[in-house]
Chains A and B, each alone.
Chain A
Amino acid sequence: MQTEKIRVALVGQPNVGKSSLINAISNAHLHVGNFAGVTVDISEVETRYCDPQGCQEYDITIVDLPGTYSLNDYSMEEKVTKDFLLKEEYDLIVNVVDSTHLQRNLLLTAELLELGRKMVVALNMIDEARQEGIEIDGEQLSVILGVPVVPVSAKTKEGIESLKKEIVTVYKKPQTESKIVYSDYIEEEIDRLVLFFAERNYPSEIPYRHLAIRLLKEDTEIYKKMHDEPIWIELLPLLREALDHIYLHSGKKNIQEIFADEHFAFAKGAKMEVMSTKSMRAKSLTQKIDNLLINKYLGIPIFLFLMWALFQLTFSLGQYPMDWIQAGFDWLADQTRLLLGDTQLASVIADGILGGVGAVVSFLPNIIILFFGIALLETTGYMSRVSFLLDGFFHKFGLHGKSFVPLVTGFGCTVPAYMAARTLKSRTDRLITLFILGFFSCSARIPVYVLFAGAFFGAEHAGSILFLIYITGALFGLMAAKFLRVFIFKGEDDPFVMEMPKYRWPSLKLIYHVVYGQSADYLRKAGSFILLASVLIWFASNYPKHPEIEQQFQTKIERAASPAQKAALEGKLQEKLLEESYLGQVGKATQPFFAPLGFDWKLGVALEAGLAAKEVVVSTLGVLYSLGDTVDAAANSLQAQLKKHVSLPVALAFIVFVMLYVPCFAAMAVFKQETGSWLYLLYLFVGTTGVAWVFSFLTYNLVKLMV
């Protein structure tokens, strides 16, 4: 028998556990990329259901729409959801409802019911509601809403199978029986319109009742559609009269507001009828935690401490696996050289590929720990508290408390951070956030910081240095925001109204998926893009060949008196060859730009290569400094090499430059996509590079004076 396909739109308010529910429904085929209402990309998952009757198989595709409080155009995410529901093809809606916040969630349910589509309501977190002493009569609710209501728990898997079954049952029904009952004076007008259509046998895709409601709600789509139909002439006076009646009865002139009041009355009435609260237990726990975490005086110090602890942990704990990975790659490189001898092939594998990719892969532990920490803060509900704490402070800099989410995502990777900025409602807030995001150091820059901090301050201080770098970057971001707000993007302030979700134990599964996804992305980048870049840089640093120079040095080396002299000459030869290579030529050409900052051409080239991706800075330095130093085994590590060749003022200036200039090509592409303007991208590039240069220059000269 053929399998039938069902397309389900999953809709719910933020923080109702949509992602966890998706995880619970489709154990096998997981590609969830969405968490905590941060991303706006629509993701899909598939699951299969076998109907025991007639053994019909169904392929259920679930489209995970961004969380939305109402069907409005308030933020971009909400617009995405609304547009999908109105314009895309799907068979039915599954409305995920948080059982512990029934009344508020039913407001959205009421709006969804008005769409006139087939629908199933999933009462999620039913186990949590029971623990809180809340009892909900699902069957009674189903009678009130006219659609099936399934109590489920993503955590305990309760009701998941019934939910699938209901999806199929509703799919097989010809039409929805959903209903909302409005106040009498509105019902009267609906009846009148329905009668009008029925008498004329008007051909309609949706039930007359829904058509009437949409007309009364002044739904633009329906108006546009019916405007050119002959029936419109007859309908218009009737509609005008109906609206007048409604205005008169409600004493209000705004139809949206009138319907909003209706939804509220409906939601409240439904809740009163189906819900009973026995006790008020768990709520007080969130309260107790909040008393501490958003305490007027302690809140911000606690937040700063948590962030510091995260960075400290990232570095100290990450150090061990990092050393092992590095040792592993070094061993591989040595084996390659032994096996292939002193050939070009050995060089490209050992120095180019293994050197470059190894340097990047070795930072994986740090990145996993950081992403883990961020995901942990996100899923527990702490992030919204931070927005609350920081809004007053952010607001002074022309930012929005909600900018905090993209900004902290920016510590992970700037690309998703740019996308996370879509939660911001006003374009001004969004643009400012987008422009300053690059100053919030992404994890790809960690390798550079770790490398330099470790080389110049020792591993024991590196965590604190890292924290300092991040804070400085963030301060730069805030200053830039203020500057942009005052001089460039003047405009209305966005209101700050935000739900503070209950504190929950983090779902390890969800965190695992987030961390796994991000880490896999990082490795994929290491395996493809950075591999290519490493080989390219290896090539550019090894070619063109200069046999005459080699010849010249070879004779000198042969004549050298002592082994030390010999080694020195060999080093000189390598340096000379590098200088003459393509890479050297590029570096030389751009050296005047970097010279005032004290950077030699190698550092300059590393920064230029870093435009491709920040990890490439390290791999480039790896290639540039490891070449030709196989003699001195003790000083073989890149850190030792850097310490030998680079002075402290230069190192600090280099860190500052890396901290402030554009993240990478991928980020630039997304920036263009999000702002929709090449000109803005140009501003971003020139602006950040300018800032980086100036502050790098200041750092170099100030530190030089002090040391």
Chain B
Amino acid sequence: MLLTELRKGDRGTIRRIDADPELKHRLHSFGIIPGETLEVKGCSLARQTMEIDVDGTLIALRKEEAEKIDVEKEEHSALIKGE
């Protein structure tokens, strides 16, 4: 599923990044790499931008970029966190 489909508190594993090499490299240098796990920390109004945590780094992404990241959701993660 797409990163944009995750809600606040959801965790997931990055599967694939479907972007041009430049953006890919950028995401890469922030640690956004297939195989890594991430957690959605928050979204702005209308879900225009979202904040994710990858290996302790907080990263802000716009909807357009988040759509390019394919993730596998960790089930019930939101429940465990009690949200």
Is chain B's interface secondary structure helix, strand, loop, or mixed overall?
mixed
Q: Which residues of A contact B78 (CB under 8 A)?
A: none
Residue of B21, B22, B60 contacting most chain A CB atoms (<10 Å)? B60
Question: A401 with B58: in contact, given A257-B21, A499-B30 (CB under 8 Å)?
Answer: no
Q: Are A290 and B51 touching (Cβ within 8 A)?
A: yes
Bound CA–CA A11/B53 (angstroms): 25
Flag whether A162 is at the interface (Cβ < 8 A).
no
Q: Are A496 and B56 touching (Cβ within 8 A)?
A: no
Q: Are B29 and A496 touching (Cβ within 8 A)?
A: no
Question: A260 with B28: in contact, given A294-B51, A395-B62 (CB under 8 Å)?
Answer: yes
Q: Are A395 and B30 touching (Cβ within 8 A)?
A: no
Question: A264 with B56: in contact, given A69-B26, A257-B24, A493-B64 (CB under 8 Å)?
Answer: no
Question: A104 with B31: in contact, given A283-B56, A395-B62 (CB under 8 Å)?
Answer: yes
Flag whether B48 is at the interface (Cβ < 8 A).
yes
Q: Are A496 and B26 touching (Cβ within 8 A)?
A: no
Residue of A at shortest CB range from B43? A296
Bound CA–CA A548/B56 (angstroms): 81
Q: Which residues of A contact B62 (CB under 8 A)?
A: 391-392, 395, 401, 495-497
Q: Could you say which of B24, B27, B33, B60 contacts A391, with CB atoms under 8 Å apart? A: B60
Bound CA–CA A257/B65 (angstroms): 18
Bound CA–CA A286/B55 (angstroms): 15
Min CB distance A601 to B, Å, is 49
Q: Are B41 and A290 touching (Cβ within 8 A)?
A: yes
Residue of B29, B55, B59 contacting most chain A CB atoms (<10 Å)? B29
Q: Which residues of A contact B26 (CB under 8 A)?
A: 69-70, 72, 74, 495, 497
Q: Which residues of A contact B56 (CB under 8 A)?
A: 100-101, 283
Residue of A at shortest CB range from B22? A74
Residue of A at shortest CB range from B62? A496
Residue of A at shortest CB range from B23? A495
Q: Which residues of A contact B45 (CB under 8 A)?
A: 296-297, 300, 392
Min CB distance B26 to A, Å, is 6
Q: Could you say which of A108, A500, A501 contacts B29, with CB atoms under 8 Å apart? A: A108
Q: Are B42 and A291 touching (Cβ within 8 A)?
A: yes
Q: Are A499 and B27 touching (Cβ within 8 A)?
A: no
Q: Could you say which of B28, B31, B58, B65 contacts A500, with CB atoms under 8 Å apart? A: B58
Bound CA–CA A496/B28 (angstroms): 14
Min CB distance A246 to B, Å, is 17
Q: Which residues of A contact B25 (CB under 8 A)?
A: 70, 72, 74, 256-257, 260
0/1 per residue, A102-138, Cβ < 8 Å to B? 0110011000000000000000000000000000000
Min CB distance B3 to A, Å, is 12
Flag whether A388 is at the interface (Cβ < 8 A).
yes
Flag whether A175 is at the interface (Cβ < 8 A).
no
Q: Are B59 and A497 touching (Cβ within 8 A)?
A: yes
Flag whether A384 is at the interface (Cβ < 8 A).
yes
Flag whether B77 is at the interface (Cβ < 8 A).
no
Bound CA–CA A389/B48 (angstroms): 9
Q: Which residues of A contact B55 (CB under 8 A)?
A: 101, 103-104
Q: Are B29 and A70 touching (Cβ within 8 A)?
A: yes
A-side interface residues, number (CB < 8 Å): 45
Q: Are B22 and A497 touching (Cβ within 8 A)?
A: no
Residue of B at shortest CB range from A261? B33
Flag whether A156 is at the interface (Cβ < 8 A).
no
Bound CA–CA A100/B41 (angstroms): 19
Question: A299 with B44: in contact, given A260-B25, A495-B26, A497-B65 (CB under 8 Å)?
Answer: yes
Q: Could you say which of B27, B42, B57, B59 contacts A290, with CB atoms under 8 Å apart? A: B42
Bound CA–CA A296/B42 (angstroms): 8
Min CB distance B16 to A, Å, is 13
Bound CA–CA A687/B23 (angstroms): 35
Q: Are B65 and A496 touching (Cβ within 8 A)?
A: yes
Min CB distance A279 to B, Å, is 13
Flag whether B61 is at the interface (Cβ < 8 A).
yes
Min CB distance A550 to B, Å, is 68
Bound CA–CA A190/B45 (angstroms): 51
Q: Are B21 and A256 touching (Cβ within 8 A)?
A: yes
Flag whether A699 is at the interface (Cβ < 8 A).
no
Flag whether B49 is at the interface (Cβ < 8 A).
yes
Question: A294 with B44: in contact, given A103-B31, A391-B49, A499-B30 (CB under 8 Å)?
Answer: yes
Flag whether B79 is at the interface (Cβ < 8 A).
no
Q: Which residues of A contact B24 (CB under 8 A)?
A: 257
Flag whether A19 is at the interface (Cβ < 8 A).
no
Flag whether A565 is at the interface (Cβ < 8 A).
no
Flag whether A498 is at the interface (Cβ < 8 A).
yes
> Which residues 54-81 of B have a CB within 8 angstroms of A?
55-62, 64-65
Min CB distance B30 to A, Å, is 6
Bound CA–CA A108/B28 (angstroms): 11
Flag whether A287 is at the interface (Cβ < 8 A).
yes
Q: Are A496 and B59 touching (Cβ within 8 A)?
A: no
Q: Are A495 and B64 touching (Cβ within 8 A)?
A: yes
Min CB distance B19 to A, Å, is 8
Flag whether A254 is at the interface (Cβ < 8 A).
yes
Flag whether A387 is at the interface (Cβ < 8 A).
yes
Q: Are A384 and B60 touching (Cβ within 8 A)?
A: yes
Bound CA–CA A5/B44 (angstroms): 51
Q: Which residues of B contact A499 (CB under 8 A)?
A: 30, 57-60
Question: A496 with B61: in contact, given A74-B26, A257-B24 (CB under 8 Å)?
Answer: yes
Min CB distance A410 to B, Å, is 22
Question: A254 with B44: in contact, given A103-B55, A283-B56 (CB under 8 Å)?
Answer: no
Min CB distance B23 to A, Å, is 5
Q: Which residues of B contact A497 (CB under 8 A)?
A: 23, 26-27, 30, 59-62, 65
Min CB distance A128 to B, Å, is 12
0/1 per residue, B4-44, Cβ < 8 Å to A? 00000000000000000111111111110100000001111
Q: Are A401 and B49 touching (Cβ within 8 A)?
A: yes
Q: Could you say which of B22, B31, B46, B51 contacts A392, with CB atoms under 8 Å apart? A: B46
Q: Could you say which of B42, B60, B64 contacts A498, with CB atoms under 8 Å apart? A: B60
> Which residues 480-510 of A have a CB within 8 angstroms of B?
493, 495-502
Residue of A260, A384, A392 contacting most chain B CB atoms (<10 Å)? A392
Q: Are B59 and A264 touching (Cβ within 8 A)?
A: no
13 A-B pairs within 8 Å (CB atoms) are namely A74-B26, A107-B31, A264-B33, A283-B56, A290-B51, A294-B51, A388-B49, A401-B60, A495-B23, A496-B49, A497-B27, A497-B59, A500-B60
Q: 5 closest pairs, A vs B, by CB?
A: A392-B48, A496-B62, A70-B29, A500-B58, A69-B29
Extra pairs beyond A264-B28, A496-B60 (4, CB < 8 Å): A387-B60, A391-B62, A392-B44, A497-B60
